[in-house]
Structure formats: structure tokens, C-alpha cells
With several copies, the nearest count.
Chain A
Amino acid sequence: MRPLIFEIGSPGRKGYALPVLDLPRKEPASFIPPHLLRQVPAALPEVSELDVVRHYIALSKKNFSVDGNFYPLGSCTMKYNPKVNEDIVKQPRYLNLHPYQKEETVQGILEILFELERLLCEIIGVDDFSLQPAAGAQGEFTGLLMMHAYHRDRGRPRKKILVPDSSHGTNPASGALCGYEVVQVKSNSRGRVDLGELKRLASPEVAGMMLTNPNTLGLFEEEVLEIAECIHKIGGLLYYDGANLNPLLGMARPGDIGFDIVHVNTHKTFSTPHGGGGPGAGPVGVKRFLAKYLPVPRIVEERSGYRLSRDFPKSIGKLNAFYGNVGVLLRACIYIRALGKEGLLKTAHHAILNANYLLKKLEAYYDVPYPEMCMHEFVLSAGRQKEKGVRAMDIAKRLIDFAIHPPTTYFPLIVPEALMIEPTETESRQTLDYFVEVMQQIAKEAEENPELFHEAPVSAPLRRADEVLAARNPVVKWEKKRSNEVSMAAHST
């Protein structure tokens, strides 16, 4: 156990130095009335720079990551994050740009953002993009607000939004945030949107539908044009959840197959690092007829250069205090330029190849609820293993013993004991073979030694963590009194 940073250090220890104040200092109270000043200093750590380094290096070693591990976390597209992207962003002329600098002093970054919008339009098959949303979920919210504005403008505000029952939780949550009643569309036996059911639900109250394609089972919705037609017929709009865009790069474009509004997750498809939980970026693209609703400001190209324009009276407004997660967007742009046309297509190909190769090699050992060719990911069920008392979560935890990050579990909700596996294109056949070996061994263990799993992981620095205990009486902040836990292990890692 690594002690908390509050449990190391010692009163008066410092890890920083500021320049000596080069002005005559006055008492703060001479500038600000005392009742507005802080009485008790915040109890922050008191540590040296060396303490900081050792502490966080020790923590970093307790974290699985793409840099360290195979990370087939379904729906998250945990591909390799190229180092050159990090290096380019780390130039002072990108890092130190203030968002309120005059436009003439930031032409370089505006040019890049404008270029990224154009590239995304071409990749997605839409006409205009806003880079402002900070992640996929905010992109969804943005998209739905545009849908909302569109219907309002046409004098026909609507009440409902459709989502498949296999959809990601952000879809209904974003719908609700937009004031919509969320209606789930059942999947058919092939794991696709049930067209009959859809037609039944498609009433004039419906603002539109959110869909990801390939869907969260990793299956391509072949009837997407029919779905689009059905939605469009009632005056609704079709929204594309871009989380699964990776296998479509250069293969098919959401804008060409019936979608009106699209978000992309740069932190999935475009290799921007996920950061241990963000930051990401969720640019939103639309067909021309919706462009007027895009968030402001928008980047416009003029003879004198690039400019941020707020001159879009129909815009839904702002989602972010400034222009979005520029540092992330910059990486996405570099990545697209690196890959280019051929690289993007190759990416899609190998994402699909890797997933299908794994699927084929694992199908003998685990239940495959939808046995057909998948796109970039697929879902297994641990149904067979569950009969022995080994659940999807147990398998996930056991994988940690083999230095493999577990797949996504229990999602999509329509597959019992789901294990959602997305290898991504950057992994090699050797790595996949290793994963297969491990998964086979685990399947065998589940047969022969199911008790083992209640212990798993057995080799991680930590044994199974008790989530129920955590939620019962939540402790979300360290309190000094518990510091008696600190042991001489303070210096171990």
C-alpha cells in the first residue's frame, strides 16, 4: 500500500521556490478587508520535489495503460498514442497561447483547427464541424440541442428521442439533458435495430434517433438507410454516435449513409490519449442545413486570415468557456495528417482484421451471442462459465494477473455476462495470440477450478477491491485521523 501524499512529508517542507518578491510587500488586509480573507490555510501536502517524484512514480507503477499493457477495452478504442503527437504539442508556441490573444497572433493554431474541421468533414461526409465539445457526451448534448433548435425553428418542437437498447449510457443521458423523453428501440435477434419495432415507435413526437454504427455489439447495421428513411419520413433527424467510427475510416461515411448529425471521439478514433479519464474531444459535424445551429464561435477563413466569428444568430450558443480542448484537437490533426488517406484505410482494415481473428480463435471457448463477421470489436458472453459460478467480472479480474487490461464488462446491456473486446489495429498478431492463450487458459480454469476466480486477481499489488463497501458509507476525502494506517512501508512502492 502506498501512503497518501498527505501521509508523507512534514510540516514546513517545501518543494518549490518562487522568485523573491521584487516589490515592497504590503499586508493583504491593506488591499482586501480582512473578513474576505482566508482564516485557516488549506491543509495541502508539505513535501519536497523528491517526495512528489517518488510518490507519483510509485502510483504510476500501479496503473495499467496502453503503453504498458494490451488494453482491449471494448467501445474505448484503446489504440497506441503516437509519441510524435506529444512532442509536437509540447512546443512553447502551442502550450502558451492564451485564448484571448488577438487573432493575428494565433493564426497558426487557427489554421490547424480550421484544417481539422475540413479533414473531419471529408472523413465523416458532412459539411461543417464544430470542435468545441469536450468529449463524446458533450458532443451528443450539442447535437441534440441542434436537433432541438431545428425542430423549434420549424415550429414543431418534439418530445421523444429514440435510442437502441444496445446504446451507450451517454445516449439516453444526453437525451434527458435535452429534455427529451428517451424511448428504447429493441434489437432484433441479429443484434440490429428491429426495423418493425422502429416503425412502430416512429411517431411525429419523435425528434430523432441516436445510433452508432457498427453498433455496440460490433455489428454493422446494414439497414441504416432504411432506418434513416424511417426517421426522416417523420421529420426526425438521425444522430451518429461516433464512438465506433474506427472501422469506417475510408470504408464508409456516416454522412453518406443517412446520418444528419455526427460526433467523433478523438480520444478513440484519432488516438488522442485518454489521460486516465480524459481529456478528450467530441467534435460535432452536421449536414449543411443544420450548420447554422453549430456552437459559436466558429472559425472562418477570410482574405486577411482566420477569424473567430460569433455571427451566427441561430447558433445554440456555447458549450465551453473558450473553443474546446485545443491541445487534444491538435493531436488529432497531427494523427490524421500522419496517417493520410492510406493510413486511415489501413487502420480500419486492421481494426476489423484483429477483431475477427480474435473472435474466430475464441469462439470455441466462450459463448458468441451473435456469431457472424464483426467489425472492430465483438461481444462474448460468459454464460457457459457462469454456470460454474464464474462471472464476466471474475474473468475480467483474472486477466489482470496476466498483465492484460480487462475488456468492457456487462455492456451492452442486452448480452448477459458480456465481455466486449476491442483489440484495435495497433496490436500485433503475437499480442492477440498471447491474449487467446490466456483466455483459453482462463476458460479451462473456469471449468476445473472455478474457486480460483473469487480470489482473482491474485498477483496484482491489490486483491479484489470491495465496491459495495465503498458505496455503503462513501469516503471520498482523506481525513487526518485515519493516518495511523501509515506504516514503515511509506517508502516502499
Chain B
Amino acid sequence: MDYISNTPEDEKVMLERIGLSRMDELNRPIPEKLRLKRFRIPSGLSEIELKNTFFDKAKKNLNTLICPSYLGAGAYDHFIPSVVEHITGRGEFYTAYTPYQAEASQGMLQAIFEYQTMIAELTGMDAANASLYDGASSAAEAALMALSIQEGKKKVLVSAAVHPSYREVLKTYLSAQPVELVEIPYDPVEGRTDLKALDRLLSEEVACCLVQNPNFFGSVEEMAQISEKLHARGILLVSIVYPVSLGLLAPPGEYGADIACGEGQSLGNRLLYGGPYLGFFATRRSFLRKIPGRLVGETRDAEGKRAYVLTLQTREQHIRREKATSNICTNEGLCALTAAVTLATLGKTGIQEVADQCLQKSHYLAARLSRLHGFRLRFRSPFFNEFVVESKKGISLLEKRLLQKGILGPLPLKDFYPELKDCLLFCVTETKTKQMLDDLVRVLSL
């Protein structure tokens, strides 16, 4: 199967026009010795065969629709209103390029402008960009932006309670920079950033500090306190947030974060085994010209009508090249659109109701588990919809039993924090029913 529109007759006419006589002469610009001799790719498939092939492979996967899942840790199975994919599935959106030509792209431009506004509202920040790759790289870009703002400062602090993979990506992003990355330990009782340790690490050399809230363990950090401490030393606060939690938790803008970023998957994007997801990024107005990635701005057209364009493009690689604020080009436009449609559909009350149900249901489960013999809540901080449970019953045994019952998760923490080898990270979203939670408790209590 191929998607070529020209017919053999077309080929003939066109070859003639360009002075060739056979299709295989089209390799003419490639010197003989560079041409490929043998190409070991299987033959093409028709639609029927493709569907059969990839349906068969799909059958080898279990999934969170069939199996109740208690996995979170940066990827969440929230309610996705049906309307969302009816909109993102429109060819006018998903088969367009980045809206370089404003007059031919007002639809996407306006949608992204609305998305920027929603993210700014949700985070309480002044301005948001049009998206970055994912939560992890948005945190890394935040650090890079902070370093650029804090010219001369060469240290970056990151809480050990930030998602381990985010810390890894941050490390990768900074690996070629003359920068020192320092981890603030977490308090082993609270499961939160150790504020005393933080105090000790503060210095004039520190450009910024990255804290996640709720953090990887689900605990809600004392962000206002952290913010105050950092600002007292001229350090920028990068707050990595879970957008759904902002239906309930104080937003970064409220406690003075300088950059709010994170993973927007939870806003209507499918789990899809980890991607494509959505890095969101919001900051203060004064940092606008330092922002990485695309920005949509409002303007007027020749007749004075409101219009939208990509703006402040001089920050970007296609104009500024090696001096750009980031190398990003293709970003995650469709995921941003998805988030916007989801946020519009849930709206002002929906985001609160979703957050509230997450809170209620996760605390119900936590309460039941903590009363179960052999299980205890590992940390004592307040949490949103994730929490760590320690069990002496043998994690791999529990894992096996859960899978047998068709339950996915919770997540064992041993690969992320060796000291938490007896711990499981539970996540509960609004998609769970009391029945499911009770079933889970029953399976664990066997």
C-alpha cells in the first residue's frame, strides 16, 4: 500500500517534462557510489492486513480500561470527556503544521491562546507558553531559563522528592553546561523536602530550586515556606505541579513561584504508554522574553479585527539560532489543544470536582489500607491523591496477586528509592468507585 496520487500516465508526462525517461533515473542527483544496493524491508501491507497485524499485537497488552489501575507517578488515568477526541480528531487541527502563517491558522492560534490563558489561570501565573515536550523536559527548560535569568549563578537545587525521572532528565539537560546540580534530601518521616537541609544548601550561587507539589510521593509540600526561603536569597522557585491538583491546592502564583511547569497529560491526554504528553510552562510577565518555545499573542489584522500570531519569535531558534532561549521547534500543539478542550469542558466547577473526588477517594483507600494488618502509611504529610504504603508482606508477592486479579499497580518504589524497597505508591483518581477500592483492599488483605 502506498499513498501516491500520480498514475503511470502522470509519471510519463512528468518525467518527460523534467527530461527523464524512467522513474529509476530520479536517483540522478545521488552519485552512483552512494546509492543503496539492497533494502531489506518487508513488503507492504494492505489496510486489512495492517489492522489484523496491529490488533493481534494489541491483544498482547493489558490496559487501564479493562483493568482498574492504581498507577500514577506522573501519568494519570483521569476522566476524558468524549467531546475532546471528537475535536482533536478533526483533520483541520491534527494535519496542520505549526501556525507560522497566521492568516491560514487562526483556528489553532486562537485555541493555543486560549490554552495559554487557561494554564495561566490554573497556575495563577501571568503567562504560559504554547507547550514543551513533556513534564520532565519542561522542568529542565525551567532550570535553563532560570540560569539564563540569573546570569553568573551556577548552581541548581532540586528536591529529592521530585519525580526521579524528572531529575534524570534535568541531569541530562544540564550535563553539557558548567552547572552544579545539587539534591535536597527528603524528610524520611514526612515524605517532603527536608527544609532544614534546604536551609543549609541556600547560597548566592544558586540560580533556582525545583520542587514538585504534590511531590513524587503524593505529599503536599509547604510551598509558601519554601518560596519565602528561596526568595530571601534571590533564588528562583520552579514549581512542578500536577494540574488536576490545582482544582484544590494553592496554585504556584499564590505562593510566588517564578516558574510553574509540569506534565499536562492529566488534562485529557491518553496514557499511551508514556507519550505524547504535554509539557506546560508558565512564568512571570517580566520573564516573557526569556521563555522557551512558542508563544501566541494577540494582535490586529489590517482591518483592525482581533487576530492571533506567533509572537516574540526572536527568542526562537529559527531566528536567533544558537542564541535562542531553547532549541525546541515542533512542540506538543495537539496535546495542548486536547488540554484546552478538556479544561473548557470541565470548566470552573469540573476541575474542582475532579480534584475533590481524587482527594476523597484516595483518602478513603488510604484509611482502609492503614487499618489493614501488615500495611502502614509510610509518610505522615498531607497528600492529594497519591500516597506511599509500606508493607511487610513482600512486594513481589503482592504484585503477583494483584496482577492475577487483573489489577494494575500500585507502583513499587524499590527501583526509584532503594531505601523504600518495601513501599508501594498508590494513586486514586475520580474514575475509581468505592466498589473497586473495596475490591483492592480485599485482594491485598488475602
Contact = CB atoms under 8 A, between A and B. Distances in A.
Asked whether any CB of A lies within 8 Å of a CB of B in the complex, the reply is yes
Contact of A347 (B2, B48, B77, B108): B2
Contacts, number: 755
Interface stretch (B15-23, B151-159, B200-208, B229-237): B15-23
Contacts of A327: 270, 272-273, 275-276
A428 B30 CA distance: 24
B331 A465 contact: no
A338 B40 contact: no
A189 interface: no
A52 interface: yes
Nearest to B54: A88
B104 A275 contact: no
Interface in A234-293: 248, 250-253, 256-257, 265, 267, 271, 273-281
A78 B382 contact: no
Contacts of A337: 42, 44-45, 50, 53
Contact of A463 (B136, B303, B337): B303
A91 B33 CA distance: 45
8 contacts: A50-B3, A67-B91, A86-B89, A105-B62, A112-B54, A214-B29, A322-B75, A476-B296
B227 interface: no
| Chain A CB within 10 Å, residue with most, of B74, B168, B313 | B168
Contacts of A281: 276
B63 to A, nearest CB: 4
A28 B273 contact: no
Given A64-B105, A353-B26, A462-B106, A98 B41 contact: no
Interface stretch (A11-19, A196-204, A381-389): A11-19
B101 A406 contact: yes
A456 to B, nearest CB: 9
A304 interface: no
A397 B335 CA distance: 28
Contact of A360 (B17, B177, B296): B17
A252 B35 contact: yes
A328 interface: yes
B324 A169 contact: yes
Contacts of A12: 7-9
| Chain A CB within 10 Å, residue with most, of B112, B166, B274, B360 | B274
B272 A97 contact: yes
| Chain A CB within 10 Å, residue with most, of B104, B399, B411 | B104
A220 B29 contact: yes
Given A4-B113, A99-B271, A44 B65 contact: no
Nearest to B60: A108
A129 interface: no
Interface in A453-479: 455, 457, 460-467, 469-471, 474-478
Given A41-B348, A406-B104, A17 B1 contact: yes
B174 to A, nearest CB: 10
B42 A182 contact: no
Interface string A35-73: 111110111111111111101110111111111110101
Q: Which 8 A-B pairs have the closest CB atoms?
A: A322-B274, A277-B333, A340-B44, A67-B91, A275-B334, A108-B60, A279-B276, A99-B274
| Chain A CB within 10 Å, residue with most, of B30, B33, B296 | B30
B350 interface: yes
B408 A65 contact: no
Given A41-B348, A81-B95, A470-B311, A170 B272 contact: no
A474 B364 CA distance: 46
B216 to A, nearest CB: 11
Contacts of A476: 113, 116, 127-128, 288, 295-298, 311
A180 B178 CA distance: 12
A242 B114 CA distance: 33
Contact of B45 (A224, A295, A340): A340
A134 B275 contact: yes
Contacts of B332: 134, 275, 277-279
Given A64-B104, A460-B104, A346 B4 contact: yes
Nearest to B167: A318
Interface in A96-152: 96-102, 104-109, 111-112, 119, 122-123, 125, 134-138, 140-141, 144-145, 148
A106 B61 contact: yes
B30 A43 contact: no
Given A96-B65, A135-B328, 12 more contacts: A31-B359, A52-B83, A64-B101, A135-B330, A169-B316, A276-B333, A277-B99, A278-B334, A326-B276, A337-B45, A357-B18, A465-B309
A485 B1 CA distance: 33
A125 B58 CA distance: 29
Given A78-B97, A99-B274, A327-B276, A320 B14 contact: no
B87 interface: yes
B333 A175 contact: no
How many of chain A's residues touch chain B, expressed as a range?
35 or more
Given A13-B5, A476-B295, A471 B311 contact: yes
A21 B352 CA distance: 13
A278 B98 CA distance: 7
B172 to A, nearest CB: 4
A36 B220 contact: yes
Given A44-B118, A79-B3, A469-B299, A98 B77 contact: yes
A455 B301 CA distance: 10
A178 interface: yes
Given A93-B63, A276-B98, A477-B117, A50 B297 contact: no
A65 B91 contact: yes
Contacts of A108: 57-61
Given A68-B91, A82-B3, A91-B55, A353 B15 contact: yes
A406 B305 CA distance: 22
B66 A22 contact: no
A102 B399 contact: yes
B91 to A, nearest CB: 3
B113 A478 contact: yes
A321 B277 contact: yes
Interface in B245-299: 246-251, 254, 263, 270-277, 288, 294-299
Given A251-B36, A360-B18, A466-B302, A319 B86 contact: no
Contact of A464 (B103, B121, B272, B409): B103
Contacts of B137: 134, 138, 319-320
B176 A455 contact: no
A81 B350 CA distance: 21
Contacts of B14: 353-354, 357, 429
B101 A276 contact: no
A1 B81 CA distance: 27
Nearest to A134: B133
B73 interface: yes
Given A19-B433, A464-B302, A469-B300, A428 B175 contact: no
B148 to A, nearest CB: 11
B111 A59 contact: yes
Given A14-B350, A55-B344, A169-B321, A63 B96 contact: yes
